[in-house]
Amino acid sequence: MSESSMPGTGPVRPVSVSLHEGTIAAVRARTGRRGMSAYVEALIQRQLERDRLRELIEAAESQHGPVDAAAVESKRAILRGDAVSPADAA
């Protein structure tokens, strides 16, 4: 992939997309008329990141097997601040 084809790089150019009227109204309510392009650009970049992350997870799981759900929940608890560290338990 060339540098200009990386998300968020290269010149800006207009494209045409079709959206439901309710979606357009909801975005405009958040951004105003002139902020829609930047908002949609950010949404697309976020979705591309999620797609790539899903691909990486699938590749890792195909090589190493599925992740341990209990281990994932344990790490999520740490991130949420719910986990009790061994030092705190003593």
Tens digit of pLDDT for each residue in 14-33? 999 999 999 999 999 999 98
Residue 45 in this model has a pLDDT that exceeds 80: yes
| Domain hosting residue 61, numbered range | 35-84
Residue 27 within any structural domain of the chain = no
Residue 12 within any structural domain of the chain = no
What confidence score (pLDDT) does residue 4 get? 64
Q: Quick one: tokens of 66?
A: 């599925």
pTM to 2 decimal places: 0.69
Residue 47 within any structural domain of the chain = yes
Residue 69 within any structural domain of the chain = yes
Mean of per-residue pLDDT scores for the chain: 89
- Kindly report the CA angle at 74 between 77 and 48, in degrees rounded to 5? 80
Residue 24 within any structural domain of the chain = no
> How many structural domains are present in the chain?
1
Q: List pLDDT tens digits, range 64-81.
A: 999 899 999 999 999 999
